[in-house]
Structure 1
Amino acid sequence: MANITAAMVKELRDRTGAGMMACKKALEETGGDIEKAIDKLREMGLASAAKKAGREAKEGKVASYIHAGGKIGVLVEINCETDFVANTDDFNALCKDIAMHIAAAAPEYVSREEIPQDVVEKEKNIMKEQLKQQGKPEHILDKIVEGKIEKFYEEVCLLEQPFIKDPDMKVKDLVQNTIAKLGENIVVRRFARFKVGE
C-alpha cells in the first residue's frame, strides 16, 4: 500500500475542499494517485449528492442580477436545507452564477417537469409537421422528434441549459457539484427575468 503522507492529504484537501478523512480514504483507495483521488472524491460526492436530493430545502436566498445598463434584471430563489449553508461563499457564488446565467440565456422554465404537457405536445406536432414537409419517412418521425424535443428542453429549461461560464457542463451539473461540496440538498425554486420593453 502506498505511503499516504500528511502533505498529500493536505494537497488533496486544498484542491477539492473535501474532509480530511475522505481525502485520506480516497488516497488509500487510489494508491496515492492525487488525480485519481480527485475523481474518486467527485464520484463519492455526486453519489451522496443524489441521496441528498430527496431532503427538504426550506432555507436559501433570493438573488438578483442586473445586466446591460439596467436593461435586463433577474430575481431567482434558490433553496438549501440550513441558514448556515445559505450564508456560505459557495452558495452565494452559485446564486450569483445562476442569476447571471438566466440573464444571458433567457430560460423559460426551471426544469422540464414544469413545462405544461400541452406546450410539449404542440412543439412535437410542429416538429412532426416540419419533418413531413422535408419528406422524412413516417416510420422514423417519432424517433427524430424525441431527439429534437431533448434539444427543445435544452433551450427552454434552466437546469438543462449548458452553463454560460462552462458550456461543457449543464446548469444542473453546477447545482449537483455544489450539493456535493456543501453536503445539503439545493433546489432552484423559481425565477423571474425582466427585459425593458418586453
Structure 2
Amino acid sequence: MPIQISAQHVKQLREKTGAGMMDCKKALQASEGDIEIAVENLRKKGLASADKKSSRIATDGIIESYIHAGARIGVLVELNCETDFVARRSEFQKLAKDVAMQIAACESVSHVSLTDIPKNIIDAETRIESSKEDLKNKPQEIKDKIVIGRVEKNLKTKSLMNQRFIRNQDISIEELVKQHIALLGENIRIRRFQKFVLGEGLEKKNNDFSSEVAEILKQ
C-alpha cells in the first residue's frame, strides 16, 4: 500500500523539479518519501522541468491523420511544438501518430482536456447525476459530494489528456506528452482534433467497438 505523502513534500519536490503534482506524489511514494531519490527518478523519466516548458508558446508542428483498417474510423489531429526542427523529428511525428490512434480508440473522447469542456456539458452532466434515484434520500451535503465525484469521473472519459495510453497503460496521454517535452526540449501541445466515424448520425446496426480498438492496438 502506498505511503502517505504530505502536500508540503509534494510542493517541495515540484519546486525542485518543475514536474507535475501527481508525478511528484508518485515519485515520493516510490522513494518512500526520500526527496533526492524522487528527484533522480523524475529526471530518469524525463519529467523534471517538463511543466516549466509547457507554458511556452508553441505555434509550429504538424497535422497528423490516421485511418483505421477498413476505412471506417478516421482522425485528424494538430500537434504543436515551438520549432520546425522539432516538428521534423521522428519522435515528434511518432507521438502525433500515437495520439491520432489513441483518439480513434477512445469512443467517448470529445475534447483535448477537462478545461476545454464547455459549461453547458458540465451543467447537463450535473443535472443528470443530481436526479439519479439512488441519491433521493441522501442528505444534501453528501449528495453534493457524490454528484461532484460522478460528474468529474464522467468528464474525464471525454478528456483525451486523462486517458490511459493504449500502448502503455501505466501512463496517461498527459504524461506521454510531458515525456516528449522533456525528450525534445520544447513545449508540445495537442491543440485540436476531429474524429470521423463512417455513418455516424445515421441509423445503423450496432458495431463491436471493442474489436475495433483491438485492431488499432495491432498496428
TM, length-normalised to structure 1: 0.76
Please state whether the residue corresponding to 1:190 is helix, strand or coil.
strand
**Ranges in structure 2 where 5+ consecutive residues have no aligned partner:** 1-36, 201-219
Determine helix, strand or coil for the equivalent of 1:47.
Answer: coil
Contact 2:74-2:195 within 8 A present in 1 as well: yes
- Amino acid of the structure 2 residue aligned with 1:86: A
- Structure 2 match to 1:82: 83
Per the alignment, in what secondary structure is the counterpart of residue 192 of structure 1?
A: strand
Runs of 5+ in structure 1 lacking a partner? 1-34
Whole-angstrom CA distance in 2 between matches of 1:111 and 1:36: 27
**Whole-Å Cα distance in 2 between the matches of residues 146 and 37 of structure 1?**
34
Identity of aligned residues (%): 46
Within the candidate set 99, 124, 132, 1:122 is matched to 124
Instruction: Tell me if the contact between 1:132 and 1:138 (Cα under 8 Å) persists in the aligned partners.
Output: no
Query: Would the alpha carbon gap of residues 90 and 122 (structure 1) be closer, same or farther in structure 2, given more than 3 Å must change?
Result: same
User: Could you tell me how far 1:61 is from its partner in structure 2?
Assistant: 0.5
Q: In 2, distance between residues paired with 1:40 and 1:122?
A: 39
Q: For the structure 1 residues 132 and 193, does the alpha-carbon distance in structure 2 shift closer, same or farther, using more than 3 Å as the test? A: same
Matching residue of 1:137: 139
Q: Which residue of 2 aligns with 1:175?
A: 177
Q: Which amino acid is 2:85 matched to? A: F
Which residue of 106, 110, 113 maps to 1:111?
113
Cα distance in structure 2, aligned partners of 1:98 and 1:108: 13
> What displacement does 1:40 show?
4.5
Displacement, 1:167?
2.2
Structure in which a larger fraction of residues adopt helix: 1
TM-score by length of 2: 0.69
Following superposition, the deviation at residue 149 of structure 1 comes to: 2.1
Match of 1:110, SS state, is coil
